[in-house]
Amino acid sequence: MMVSTRFLSRAKVLYQTIKKTSHNTIQYNSIHPPTFPSNQSYIIMAPHADSLSTTNGVAGSTLKATAPTFSPVTTIPESKYHSTSSESAIHDEHEYAAHNYHPLPIVFARASGSSVWDPEGNQYIDFLSAYSAVNQGHCHPELVKALCAQAQRLTLSSRAFHNDVFPKWAEKIKDVFGYEMVLPMNTGAEAVETAIKIARKWAYKVKGVEQDKALIFAAAENFHGRTMTAISMSVDPESRDNYGPYVPGVGAACPTTKRQIRFNNVSDLEIVLEAHGKDTAAFIVEPIQGEAGVVVPDDDYLSKVHALCKKHNVLLICDEIQTGIGRTGRMLCSEWSGIKPDMVTLGKAISGGMYPVSCVLLCSRFKGNHAHFSIRALEIMEEEKLTERAEKLGHVLRKGLEDLKSPMIKLVRGKGLLNAIVIDESKTDGHSAWDLCMLLKSKGLLAKPTHENIIRLAPPLVISEEDIQKALSIIKEAIIELPNLKGKKEDYHSLFWGRIKKSLGIYCFYFSFFFTKMFRNYIGIGKRGWK
């Protein structure tokens, strides 16, 4: 065996079929298609397959049916641009790409609605939605149609010129969200950066803050992206460590006391603004902290923060990249609090996940070519009533999770279809949330852990109530099985590093043996005639 094959990625090791029955190995069989007894309710079928209804509506339900033309692609044309197997895709990504994420060992090859398929044809229910980027569902047929139509007409004009779609898009944004102005961007992180730039300029030009003194505050445990400004506001060591020095004038702590501004704690923010409100340009906050584990604040938190910001003439920026576009049962999550933030940042869900589109919504305090399918994405939200759908199905999902009454589930929380379960690891016999997600994957449900013991559950808004019930059945079965699985997540680490150490030992032995022999031959020939 060549040396290079020994140094496979951890992901590849995870993906390999592990059937050892020793006490320290989990019996995952994740490379083969999951099998489901035909008499069980959790059989996963493609949306609108023969055995299901022809829409994502549910018989007897008040939910509006979603796109009736959602259908899985039964065959994929061969292409030199696509990996032919999950194993090769994971291996090649590890071999050629930088590693800044820790994904589950699953490869997406195609998708439709709330279902995805890997290269081997195994089907899964998606309960992550690309971090809320595909609220309208994967490959929504109307969005694909709009994308192709615009691509045939005009691909790029740049802001150096006008085009015939952007004004219509801006008008649509105004009508849907009720903001006077919109500034388009490409990514969510870029929208956050731009909102902070706008806030600082406003502070200097309007509020009268001394140049280079404007402050931007955030709540602790936030996630606003991975750019330098975003991580400068973070308190997460994994996000911050080894990237300093950080951007000055932004942060989630009081500059004088160094005390963090805790999320859902109005008094912390009040103390900071009493001391530094004169120089503060803005406070940026997520209405629900997604990356922190879908942390839902008190109902009156945002309204009190809004009032406090107005008192100190500070702009309130709501980062709705994960919570916006109907995800929580309102077009903007901040609507639940009855407020209108001064600025709102939105991410690629505004285009249905089809194109890198984001924007900053601005209220009247600031007055002074992706658009085509982004308009269509917003129209679909209205036509299919996906916002109302998210609210209703969110209640179904949370009630179903609570009805499981599992001691392993410490807490169920969320709004709409942005939800999470907090796992009590003292009840899992040493297993982690990662292990539970791996078990869910083997049964056909995709979810991702965050902050070690929290699992986020956020399917596309087009998901059917039937698939919600299937997901609940899978979760119920998995939490029953989890404590009985052999081994722990760490065993994958030990398995992987154990193989590497073994490989190194073998190759070091051979290297030492041949080097010694060569050295002896060299000495022998030169001096003593050794052979």
pLDDT of residue 32: 34
Point out the catalytic residue in the list 127, 177, 217, 223. 223
Give helix 166-177 / helix 371-383 axis angle, nearest 10°. Answer: 30
Residue 525: how many other CB atoms lie within 10 Å: 11
Q: Which of 197, 137, 158, 133 is nearest to 346 (CA)?
A: 133
pLDDT of residue 318: 98
Flag whether pLDDT at 21 surpasses 60: no
pLDDT of residue 465: 97
| Most confident segment among 2-11, 180-189, 379-388, 489-498 | 379-388
- pLDDT-wise least confident of 161-165, 219-223, 437-441: 161-165
The 10s digit of each residue's pLDDT in 189-210 is 999 999 999 999 999 999 999 9
- pLDDT-wise least confident of 86-90, 177-181, 256-260, 524-528: 524-528
| Most confident segment among 36-50, 419-433, 501-515 | 419-433
The 10s digit of each residue's pLDDT in 322-342 is 999 999 999 999 999 999 999
Q: Which residues are CB-neighbours of 304 under 8 A, at least 6 positions away?
A: 266
Look up the pTM and report it.
Answer: 0.80
Flag whether pLDDT at 46 surpasses 70: no
Point out the catalytic residue in the list 12, 172, 268, 348. 348
Point out the catalytic residue in the list 118, 126, 319, 342. 319
> Is 319 among the residues known to form the active site?
yes
Residue 345 φ then ψ, to 5°: -105, 135
Flag whether pLDDT at 414 surpasses 90: yes
pLDDT of residue 13: 34
Residue 365: pLDDT band with limits 50, 70, 90:
low
The 10s digit of each residue's pLDDT in 445-463 is 999 999 889 999 999 999 9
- Where is pLDDT greater, at 315 or 497? 315
pLDDT of residue 26: 34
Residue 368: pLDDT band with limits 50, 70, 90:
very low
* Pair of tokens at residue 91: 């291996």
pLDDT of residue 357: 84
pLDDT of residue 364: 63
- Nearest 5°: CA angle at 524, between 520 and 528? 140
pLDDT of residue 67: 64
- The domains found in the chain, sorted by start residue, are 141-383 (3.40.640.10)
In the chain, % of residues over pLDDT 90: 68
pLDDT of residue 214: 98
> Is 496 among the residues known to form the active site?
no
User: What is the arithmetic mean of pLDDT over 255-276?
Assistant: 98
* CA dist., res. 323 & res. 321, Å (int): 6
pLDDT of residue 485: 85
Mean pLDDT rounded to a whole number for the chain? 82
Flag whether pLDDT at 413 surpasses 60: yes
Q: Which of 519, 353, 459 is nearest to 115 (CA)?
A: 459
Flag whether pLDDT at 506 surpasses 80: no
The 10s digit of each residue's pLDDT in 72-106 is 555 566 678 899 899 999 999 999 999 888 899 99
Q: Is 23 exposed, middle or buried (0-12, 13-18, 19+ CB in 10 A)?
A: exposed
pLDDT of residue 314: 98
Torsion angle defined by CA atoms of residues 108, 112, 115 and 121, in that order, rounded to the nearest 10 degrees: -50
Residue 69: pLDDT band with limits 50, 70, 90:
low
pLDDT of residue 77: 64
Flag whether pLDDT at 123 surpasses 50: yes
Strands, sheet with 123-126, edge to edge from the N-terminal-most edge strand: 110-112, 115-117, 123-126, 445-446
- Give CA 135 to chain center in angstroms: 12
